[in-house]
Amino acid sequence: MEKRQIIRIDQEKCDGCGLCVPSCAEGAIQIVDGKAQLLADRFCDGLGACLGECPQGALTIEERESEPFVGPAPGAAGHQAAPAPEPEALVCPGSRMRQFQPQGVPEAGASALGHWPVKLRLVQPQAPFLKDASLLVAADCAPFAAGDFHARFLQGKALVCGCPKFDDVEAHTARLTEILRQNNIQEITIVNMEVPCCFGLVQVVRQALGASGKELPVTICTLGTAGQVIQQQKVKGK
């Protein structure tokens, strides 16, 4: 043990927005039961890159006895895999294999998709289906997790989708900013996954709203990897 600076997360202030997760290059923070949690002291470098991303002021730096810093957590960018397998508790939840048993046969239904393309990088801001639309911003994995995605989320909405882990986040933010500037969007629904990297989708929407100068009602719906709703909240986005 050694005395050094470590991030502290105030659980009472934290609202689980997840903006701190993608800002931590070491992957030391993840969302657990709707709250930001430090995975382990040894993965936190104490530099505080995540501090400015928290709108609730729940993140601070404190100096205390802790384990020495060992580098990025498993699953984080820059992490070099060790020859021996990591204990399950330390594996990034976004990369852990899970298998689900389908509950019955899904009912056949008509698609609620009203336009193409749907990938955010391909959707043009001038597209006619965006005019006066209710906008659905979905993670690429969400329709595969939720068997009733079309009926529950897509009905009556214009869809754009992307992956904050593998796509160009800056390009997504710029494209969404133009969509908001050029169209009278009525509301935004975000459907992301519970895995930490997917909370970057919320950050894309918030940054685009700020850059566009628009203030819209935003609903954030976070799905578990089995399709269940983990958290749903309505916020005023700007």
Print the SS3 string covering 183-232.
CCCCEEEEEEECCHHHHHHHHHHHHHHHHHCCCEEEEEEEECCCCCEEEE
Q: d(Cα 44, Cα 93) in Å, to the nearest integer? A: 18
Residue 217 counted as domain residue: yes
Q: Evaluate whether 236 touches 218 at the Cβ level (below 8 Å).
A: yes
Q: How far apart are the first and last CA of the chain?
A: 43
pLDDT at 89: 45
**Do 158 and 224 reside in the same domain of the chain?**
yes
- Work out the number of other CB atoms within 10 angstroms of the CB of residue 130: 20
Sign of CA dihedral 164, 167, 170, 173: negative
pLDDT at 91: 47
Q: Evaluate whether 189 touches 157 at the Cβ level (below 8 Å).
A: yes
**Do 133 and 204 reside in the same domain of the chain?**
yes
Coil, strand, or helix at residue 153?
helix
* Tokens standing for residue 188: 């935004």
Residue 101 counted as domain residue: no
**Do 66 and 134 reside in the same domain of the chain?**
no
Coil, strand, or helix at residue 137?
strand
Residue 123 counted as domain residue: no
Which domain does 231 fall in, by range?
A: 128-237
Look at the chain and report how many structural domains it folds into.
Answer: 2
* Tokens standing for residue 8: 């502290």
Cβ partners under 8 Å of residue 27, min gap 6 = 39, 43, 72, 73, 74, 75, 76, 77, 79, 92, 196
Residue 114 counted as domain residue: no
Tell me the CATH number at 224. 3.40.50
Q: Evaluate whether 203 touches 22 at the Cβ level (below 8 Å).
A: yes
Tell me the CATH number at 74. 3.30.70.20
Residue 140 counted as domain residue: yes
Q: Evaluate whether 46 touches 70 at the Cβ level (below 8 Å).
A: no
pLDDT tens over the chain, length 238 residues: 888 888 899 999 998 888 888 778 788 888 888 888 988 888 888 888 787 778 888 999 888 898 888 877 765 555 554 444 444 444 455 555 554 555 554 555 678 898 988 999 999 899 989 999 999 999 999 999 998 999 999 999 999 999 988 888 899 999 999 999 999 999 999 999 988 888 899 999 999 999 999 999 999 999 998 889 999 998 865 5
pLDDT at 88: 46
